[in-house]
Amino acid sequence: MQARNVVKAVVVMVVVVCAAAKPADEEKKNRVYNEKLSDEEHFIHDEHNPDYDHEAFLGEDEARTFDQLTPEESRDRLSKIVDRIDSDNSGVVTEKELQAWIEYTQKRYINDDVKRQWSTNNPENKDMLHWEDYKTRVYGFIDNMDQNELDTEEDDGMSYQEMIKRDKRRWEAADRDGDSTLTLEEFTDFLHPEEATHMTHIVVLETMEDIDKDNDGKISLAEYIGDMYRGGHDDESEEPSWVSSEREQFTEFRDKNQDGFMDEEEVRAWIIPSDYNHAEAEAKHLIYEADSDGNAELTKDEILEKYDVFVGSQATDFGEALVRHDEF
């Protein structure tokens, strides 16, 4: 049972590899892809979320490591990172340098993730991964389930059969030379379709299928809201204000041709906005947070002064600090 749960977790991870945070009743689900820098939301109910900046700046794994450090250790390591970001050794970090660093961090995170999943799914380290081998490894446990279990076991409203079908379609889109096997490069597009332009239609399709509950091939206002907001089922409770503003967003901006629905083109414009560079926006945001003298560049002192903006430490992560404290 436990082994199956692990496999199941892997399945879910692969299928929703890029989906945003778990939808809680009050929490908004974010469908916007385009080089998202972190699985964390940048703002939760208009409150700034420092974890987003830490993951954008360090990558998810490294951000977790920093959470274990004392403030002194944290500043120390950050100081070494600043030297790397300042690529022309001018002593100040410019917006361009910061943006380049954030992009580098993002690429590194994706490469690490792909390498990890490649070796898990390809233990013999072959040059290519065959769909049948991948399917057996990820979904093989299904063969040991009886029909009853198969019918009831579902994740996010999707049956395993549907998940396999969706994975196969994504696999075929990633398989550019059509030989049913994926090279490491093709496997990267399979795992991170949001990063590859030739995979855009798959990302749009999967998003539409998730939201289009009545399967009419378009997204109504009710489906749009129902996807991001799971509360409000009893008439008593008043819906949060962000839900009403999302209703306006849908009517005024998302449904461009004003026919009351979002079609494929409109969904694409929503989840893959072409005019927005997350790394650039994040670089600007970090400079704004730490630029004490307001000259639009950051010295090492300015960065270290605001180290909690860039990286975590026990001081900024109270929960971790308590856990550590218990060990002594």
Among 120, 293, 301, 323, binds Ca ion (CB under 5 A): 293
Q: Which stretch binds Ca ion (CB under 5 A): 61-69, 195-203, 242-250, 251-259?
A: 251-259
127 near Ca ion (CB under 5 A): no
Among 90, 245, 251, 257, binds Ca ion (CB under 5 A): 257
Closest alpha carbon to 165 in 139, 183, 144, 145: 139
The least distance separating Ca ion from the CB of residue 292, rounded to whole angstroms, comes to 6
Q: Which stretch binds Ca ion (CB under 5 A): 108-116, 162-170, 248-256, 318-326?
A: 248-256
251 near Ca ion (CB under 5 A): no
Give the residues across from 154 on adjacent strands.
159
62 near Ca ion (CB under 5 A): no
Among 295, 301, 322, 323, binds Ca ion (CB under 5 A): 295
Query: Token pair of 209, please?
Result: 């299928």
For Ca ion, give the closer residue by CB, 109 or 134: 134
275 near Ca ion (CB under 5 A): no
The least distance separating Ca ion from the CB of residue 221, rounded to whole angstroms, comes to 10
CA dihedral 267, 54, 99, 197 (to 10 degrees): -30
Q: What character string, x for contact with Ca ion (CB under 5 A) and - otherwise, covers 204-233?
A: --------x-x-x-----------------
Counting residues that bind Ca ion (by CB under 5 A) gives 14
86 near Ca ion (CB under 5 A): no
Does an H or E element contain 261, and which? strand 261-262
DSSP class per residue in 275-318: T--HHHHHHHHHHHHH-TT-SSSEEHHHHHHTHHHHS--TTT-H
The least distance separating Ca ion from the CB of residue 256, rounded to whole angstroms, comes to 6
| Residue 93 CB partners (closer than 8 Å, separation 6+) | 82, 85, 86, 297, 298, 299, 300, 303
Among 76, 83, 179, 248, binds Ca ion (CB under 5 A): 179
291 near Ca ion (CB under 5 A): yes
255 near Ca ion (CB under 5 A): yes
Q: Phi/psi zone of residue 239: left (φ > 0), alpha (ψ -120 to 50 degrees), beta?
A: beta
Helix (H, G, I), strand (E, B) or coil at 171: helix
189 near Ca ion (CB under 5 A): no
The label of the residue with tokens 């208009």 reads 46
Q: For residues 119-141, b (16+ Cβ closer than 10 Å) or e, as one string?
A: eebbeeeeeebeeebbeebbbeb
The torsion angles phi and psi of 43, rounded to 5 degrees, stand at -130, 130
Q: Which stretch binds Ca ion (CB under 5 A): 15-23, 151-159, 194-202, 293-301?
A: 293-301
149 near Ca ion (CB under 5 A): no
The least distance separating Ca ion from the CB of residue 178, rounded to whole angstroms, comes to 7
The least distance separating Ca ion from the CB of residue 181, rounded to whole angstroms, comes to 5
265 near Ca ion (CB under 5 A): no
Does an H or E element contain 178, and which? none
Q: Are strands 47-48 and 43-44 parallel, antiparallel or unpaired?
A: antiparallel
177 near Ca ion (CB under 5 A): yes
Query: Which positions touch Ca ion (CB under 5 A)?
Result: 175, 177, 179, 212, 214, 216, 255, 257, 259, 261, 291, 293, 295, 297
